[in-house]
Structure 1
Amino acid sequence: MSDVLRVELRDQIAVLTLDRPERLNAVGTETVNRLTQALNDIRDNDDVRAVVLAGAGRAFSAGADIGEIESCTAPGQFRAFVGRLTDAYALLEDFPKPSVAAVHGFAFGGGLELALACDLRVAERGTRLGLPEMKLGVLPGAGGTQRLPRLLPPAIAKQMILTGEPIDAERAWQLGLVNELAEPGGALAAAEKLAAGLAAGAPLALAAGKRLIDHGLGMDLTTAIAYERETVTVLFSTEDRAEGLKAFRDRRPGEFRGV
């Protein structure tokens, strides 16, 4: 299997880099297979506390691999291709360790959908983000029509999806789609800094926080608050909670072990 995805461990961060620069990091079956493998490999690695997803070359990702899409000769083949992407993106979204996308150049189609599956996004100024599938007579099929309206005002998401026109990073930041702006060439460093802050947190609380937010949004408020109450009660019995309180009293950073 060729190295279409580079995996580097830096302190407590796993940096996963899409590495098909000659194809503008188009996302195909090989890429999502490698992504799935990498996530499964680091899931139980206690030395990894956060994930950064980046792209090599001049762009984060141009989108799904058009060549592979064109090779589909029947709807069932296309459905299987889209299914492979959505399964890998769902694995990233549900991953117990927080993830940050470092976006530069552009993130279109399946590339933007990949960034949407991350918990947080950093983008360089001037980066373009869009779902251009409408211009090809189709629609985003790897979560774009569902994740984007959950991160943007629905009317803005509709405009992007139904016109296929992108927005720039500055506009995305104003709308809350992008968490931080970076200067040109600085997205990866900014994403790693953000990930380092996440990695310093208590692993059990980080994973629980992700679940509370992601799952709670689909519940009515009363049920979601009850879910929150039960979750924090479980966290209260952890050693990390005791360490956090002691560290606060000692006026020092907590040394969390995920227990």
Structure 2
Amino acid sequence: MSSVLRVELRDGIAVLTLNRPERLNAVGSETVDRLTQALHKVRHNDDVRALVVAGAGRAFSAGADLGEIESFTTPGQFRAFVGRLTEAYALLEDFPKPSVAAVHGFAFGGGLELALACDLRVAERGARLGLPEMKLGVLPGAGGTQRLPRLVPPAIAKQMILTGEPIGAERAHALGLVNELAAPGEALSAAEALAGTLAAGAPLALAAGKRLIDHGLGMGLETAIAYERETVSVLFSTEDRAEGLKAFRERRPGDFRGV
């Protein structure tokens, strides 16, 4: 795997680390390609039960690679770049295994959009999160204007997007944008601990739970509840469901196999 993205497997968790610290982990075409490749590879690895997305060096990510963007000479080139970026983030969002972003330093622009595509977010106290594209005369183009207002009140999303001003991790946590706060220097370990809790769950139920929440939000309540009923009925026939009940009766952790 290219050095711009490190992939490490630890105890059922795949840790994907943006690895351009000298560029504050700016997301360019090579990073997008490697992220896409890694997600496809990990998707088919049954030993991996959860993902952590992190950044090397001083920050999670400063956003899209402005140096690369400045080299574009036509709107079509920019559109193609944003398209690949959007597809990679959609692949992460729709991934059947739960994901956790480990944010430290700051997550700006395309970096925050990457964190928004994860299921959960852990951020160090003092970290900053923002979408500063307005200050460059543009707007977030990899899901920021759509995912952010689905996670925080629309008025807060408008303020962040239309002013370009970041917010601190503590406020992000109070708003529900960040799930857990970590001490300085502890974002990755806290994210791995949270991912470990997720990885201990039944894989089929984890994937189904993600689908129910993500897809159900776009349905009417009655339709969504019917979707839930059918999904849990399918899970009832799995070996993991039988193992879960047996483990509960025996007062031990379940040994889930994804079948």
TM range (shorter): over 0.9
Do structure 1's residue 95 and structure 2's residue 88 form an aligned pair? no
Find the counterpart in structure 2 of residue 132 from structure 1.
Answer: 132
What TM-score do you get using the length of structure 1 for normalisation?
0.99
Show the counterpart of 1:117: 117
Question: 1:141 is aligned with what amino acid?
Answer: G
> TM-score w.r.t. structure 2 length?
0.99
Aligned mates of 2:2, 2:73 — CA distance in 1: 25
Aligned length: 259
| AA at the equivalent of 1:58 | R
Secondary structure of the structure 2 residue equivalent to 1:214: helix
**C-alpha contact 2:86 2:142 (8 A) present in aligned 1:** yes
Moved over 4 A (4+): none
Structure 2 gap ranges (5+): none
% identical equivalent positions: 88
Quote the offset at 1:36 in angstroms: 0.6
Report the CA distance between 1:72 and its aligned residue. 1.2
Q: 1 CA distance for matches of 2:73 and 2:236?
A: 55
Gaps of 5+ in 1: none
2:58 counterpart residue number: 58
Inter-partner Cα distance in structure 2 for 1:106 and 1:42? 26
Q: Secondary structure in 1 aligned to 2:135?
A: helix
Corresponding position of 2:105: 105
Instruction: Report the Cα distance in structure 2 between the residues aligned to 1:99 and 1:21, rounded to whole angstroms.
Output: 22
Q: Compute the displacement of 1:44 (Å).
A: 1.3
The alpha carbon displacement at 1:71 in A equals 1.1
Counterparts in 2 of 1:1-259, with a 5 A limit? 2-259=2-259
Deviation at 1:2, TM superposition (A): 3.6
Q: Distance in 2 between matches of 1:68 and 1:230?
A: 47
CA distance in 2, matches of 1:219, 1:93: 18
**Backbone CA RMSD of aligned residues:** 0.6
* Aligned mates of 2:173, 2:136 — CA distance in 1: 27
SS at match of 1:234: helix
